[in-house]
Amino acid sequence: MEIISVTMPIFIFVIMGYMGKSFGIISEQNMKFMSKISYYFALPALLLKGIISFDFETVFSPELVIHNLSVTFIVCVLSIVLALVLVKPYQRGAFSMSCFRSNQGYIGLPLALGFYGEQSMSKVAITLGFSSPFVTVLSIMTLDFLTSCKQSLQNKEPVHKIFTKVVSLLINPYILVTLFGLTLSYFQIPINKLDFFMKFLEMSGNMALPLALLSVGYSLELQYLNKNIELVIGAGVVKLILMPFIAFLLAYYVFRFQGDLLGVSVLLPATPTSVASYVMACEMDTDGELSAASIGFSTLASVFTLYIVQSFMLRYI
């Protein structure tokens, strides 16, 4: 019941976002505004509060960062092999990204907070500061390798645009807040003793997760699910079942994680496909419809797979 009590509110917000778009309750302009508030203000406030509420040694886990990047890289390589063998050239990039790009921010953060508390969420926040640029660069290299369209190979302008985004990642709110929070924590600057400031961060952070989850729901494009259903299901199996299984094997047998750290290390890779993969698929001339369908399918299916993964992890935590 605890698993349901954590996951269901999250996916209710996702459904609300999708229904709000479907019935015209939430306009595109309103959603853009809410997304910017969440991305540039509310989520950074939530992350900063989580980081500075604990000492440096408590929130910074380099082993978790290395584990997260390792799992992503392994599944990326596996997805490339599967794409080369089973998928049409035009769809390979979209398929591959659907297998290894996780929605660790908008879905992973509230799950970590709900299952393992604010301290674990702070570790996730710091991990995101490292994984975001890594995953973006890895996606670019994967798409550039897998694409076989003449236009994609000859016209490097889309690649240039994406590399520009990589540079912009270095100054994105997640990374800046992570660095700022870690600096305060490392040098033991007692900003967390300022009650009004912490209350401000708490009130601001309370907006973050509902707005983020509404954005996820609004971005779902379920009309593409009927197309290429075999590839969509295949990518979903890799993303939602195989990826967390690989994460568990590495975490339990190689990194020797225990307790909440073990749970978080498996929970993050178990999240559905990142919405950002659709944007990148379109800009890199791969199948955007397949990417959109995979995001929709994995988000809906993760309601059940996350329950299974978390139930399995309770045996080891």
Which residues lie closer than 8 Å to 25 by C-beta, 6 or more apart?
19
Among the listed ranges 23-27, 69-73, 144-148, 200-204, which one has the minimum average pLDDT value? 144-148
Q: How confident is the model at residue 154 (pLDDT cuts 50, 70, 90)?
A: very low
Which spans in the chain are helix H? 2-22, 28-37, 43-52, 56-59, 62-86, 92-100, 109-146, 150-154, 157-169, 173-186, 195-219, 229-237, 243-249, 259-267, 276-283, 288-313
Q: Which range of residues forms the domain containing residue 289?
A: 2-220+227-306
Structural domain count, the chain: 1
Answer yes or no: is 315 within a domain. no
Does residue 317 form part of some domain? no
Domain annotation covers residue 119: yes
Distance CA 127, CA 125 (A): 5
> Range with the lowest mean pLDDT among 151-160, 240-249, 293-302?
151-160
Identity of the amino acid at 92:
R
The 10s digit of each residue's pLDDT in 61-114 is 999 999 999 999 999 999 999 999 999 999 999 999 999 999 998 899 999 999
Within a domain: residue 285?
A: yes
Q: Are 198 and 192 in contact (CB under 8 A)?
A: yes
Q: What is the CATH number of the domain that holds 195?
A: 1.20.1530.20
From CA 78, how far away is CA 305, in angstroms rounded? Answer: 20
Distance CA(15)–CA(188), nearest Å, equals 41
The tokens 């702070």 sit on which residue? 122
Is the residue at 311 inside a domain? Answer: no
The identity of residue 312, as a single letter, is: F
Q: Does some domain include residue 257? A: yes
Domain assignment present for residue 41? The answer is yes
pTM value is 0.86
150 in a structural domain: yes
